[in-house]
Chains A and B, each alone.
Chain A
Amino acid sequence: MSDLAIPAGPVRRRGVSSFLAQNRRISLGGTVILLMILAAAFAPLFAGNPNSMNPMIRLEAPSAVHWFGTDSLGRDVFARTVFGGRISLAIGLSVAILAVALGILIGLPAGYYRRFDALVMRVMDGLMSIPSILLAIALVALTNGGVPIVIIAILLPEMPREVRLVRAIVLSAREQPFVEAAVAGGARTRKVLLRHILPATFAPLTVQGTYVCASAILVEAALSFLGAGVPPSIPTWGNMIASSQLYLGLAPWNIFFPGVALAVLVLAVNLLGDGLRDRLDPRLARSL
């Protein structure tokens, strides 16, 4: 498993523009994500009010005034789509960051201490076999839902993959000569783990974190759609689609625009992940 180490690769220091030209998937995915983050952050400045109802203009088709049309309560679909991106991005990013952090926190010691490892891996197997959507449904039925509950519900089944990844890297790294040298040189276990082994996890975790983000966005949308997500007063792409399903034949734009926004965002995140994988982890890039 010595080939798990990350080859440095040719270093190109010729500025941002040449980097972007050489990494089209990273730049395309990154640009789309950046635009969506900007739109979500500055939504109040240009998108209008996502919650103002007007019964006079129910289910209107897209026009110059309402770019994406209006929904069954006369709310502007464009405003709701832009504001809906906030929840998707916030939950996608927080789940990714937390999953990576927990992956390091649990995976590092699990790869190093045999006893701890056996216990942790069985618990991870158990967590992985509970479908995330059902876990979220259970949590929402037991508590009263809300953003933190949704994050926990998505995080619990996603985290085992990070833990396994970190553990696998630790297992292979601890057999490497430089780790042996550090141990022989009298370095403390904590120092060996943090200084010598931890850096090897950064590149694979960045790639994996991107995929977790994409997956979290999809699960959040599904939960909102099922009514087990964030409270319905907050517009999300999932609950926009759920509340418009009866009007699919009459006003398809109510489902089309949030649906396309969702697919484009997830596609962009996956594209970024693929680009990063090719760039940071050439061993995987060959096969997939």
Chain B
Amino acid sequence: MAAYTLRRLGSTVVVMLLVGIFVFALLHIAPGDPAAIIAGDNATPAEIASIRQQLGLADPLSVQFVRWFWHLLHGNFGISIFSDTPVITLIGQRVPATLSLTVLTIAFAVIVAVAAGVFAAWRAGGVLDGSLMGFAALGFSTPVFVVGYFLIYFFSIRLRWLPVQGYVPLSHGLWPWLSHLILPTIALGLAYVALIARITRASMLEVLAEDYIRTARAKGASTEAILFRHALKNAGVPIVTVIGIGVALLVSGVVVTETVFNIPGIGRLAVDAITNRDYPIIQGVMVIFSGAYVIINLLVDLTYTLIDPRVRY
């Protein structure tokens, strides 16, 4: 296990290094002078020269990369062109909103999807199964922003049950915070729910056909005990895997959801940076989101032994 953890950590470092090389290379492969791109459209020659100095563009690319990556490891993500503030400060300000949205979405999606998948497998072939899986197919095919506007239209504009857009920090009270996040969580979570529910159902169907399930039933175990204690535990590995893989889906979705619901999060920061062509911000957000994805999948891989003691490395 220790050897596996070390090997897995090693490959995570390699992947992050590759992500770094890629993000760094994008700026240098793109046509035009990197300093001019970083400086933005309205920069004076003096400003461009100062950025060229700052980036050390005269040095060989390898030296530049090592320096850039070294700064990255120390939390120095460069300085935003538009607001003249360190990128890490801007990202830091946006963390609470994005974290609130993603944590709520993962919790909502996992609970709803696992429950739906278990019940669909229990009643496989029935009406409940059919409608749940039909709903999953629809959820998997409808983009986040379409779901988002439909939800806003019905629940905020027509019924006036929930606020239309915006974000209120948790420090302003639990309900104001939660009420602003209910619709974004549903919109963002729908595709994720569909993905996890389908895998849960498939994995459960396989386990429910095993001999020990028949044994459990024969000894008189209740349906709940069979489904949740015997079957779900053994069906866990593929479910946890897809929860990790699905984070990629979630990350792209966060960018769109924050735009639809006007939530001042990290994704929104990147979208606003398009208009200003604020490349250092986009670079920073790419590194942060890719890092989150890689680390979550590392954690997912390491939890396999906790769920299923049969898994040995």
Residues of A within 8 A of B (CB): 122-123, 125-135, 137-143, 214, 218-219, 221-222, 225-228, 238, 241, 245, 248-249, 252, 255, 259, 262-263, 266-267, 270-271, 274, 287-288
Contact = CB atoms under 8 A, between A and B. Distances in A.
B9 to A, nearest CB: 14
A129 B143 contact: no
Contacts of B79: none
A140 B279 CA distance: 10
B110 interface: no
Nearest to A219: B252
Given A131-B255, A139-B30, A248-B157, 20 more contacts: A125-B11, A126-B19, A130-B19, A131-B289, A133-B256, A134-B255, A137-B273, A141-B274, A141-B277, A141-B279, A141-B282, A222-B144, A222-B145, A225-B143, A245-B149, A259-B143, A270-B137, A270-B140, A287-B203, A287-B205
A142 B279 CA distance: 8
B270 A288 contact: no
A177 to B, nearest CB: 29
A266 B137 CA distance: 10
A156 to B, nearest CB: 9
Contact of A138 (B142, B203, B286): B286
Interface in B17-60: 18-19, 21-23, 26-27, 30-31, 37
Interface in B237-253: 248, 251-252
Contact of B271 (A126, A128, A226, A274): A226
A222 B146 contact: no
30 contacts: A122-B11, A125-B11, A129-B248, A130-B19, A130-B290, A131-B252, A131-B286, A133-B252, A134-B270, A134-B289, A135-B286, A138-B283, A141-B274, A141-B277, A142-B30, A143-B30, A214-B141, A218-B143, A221-B143, A225-B259, A227-B271, A227-B274, A241-B145, A241-B146, A245-B260, A248-B152, A249-B157, A252-B153, A255-B149, A274-B137
B206 interface: yes
Given A125-B15, A129-B19, A225 B198 contact: no
Given A138-B26, A287-B202, A262 B283 contact: no
B15 A129 contact: yes
Interface in B120-156: 137-138, 140-146, 149-150, 152-153
Contacts of A252: 153
Contact of A287 (B31, B206, B255, B275): B206
A222 B143 CA distance: 8
A122 to B, nearest CB: 6
Contacts of B15: 122, 125-126, 129
A138 B145 CA distance: 21
Interface residues of B, number: 56
A110 to B, nearest CB: 16
B283 to A, nearest CB: 7
A141 B251 CA distance: 19
Interface string B167-211: 000000000000000000000000000000010001101100000
A63 B198 CA distance: 40
A50 B184 CA distance: 32
B156 to A, nearest CB: 9
Contacts of A135: 286
Contacts of A126: 15, 18-19, 21-22
A128 B149 contact: no
Most buried by A among B138, B248, B274: B274
A222 B59 CA distance: 38
Given A127-B22, A133-B255, A226-B271, A267 B138 contact: yes
B97 interface: no
Contacts of A225: 143, 145, 256, 259
Contacts of B143: 218, 221-222, 225, 259, 262-263, 266
A219 B21 CA distance: 24
A248 B262 CA distance: 14
Q: Which 5 A-B pairs have the closest CB atoms?
A: A126-B18, A259-B146, A142-B30, A266-B141, A267-B141
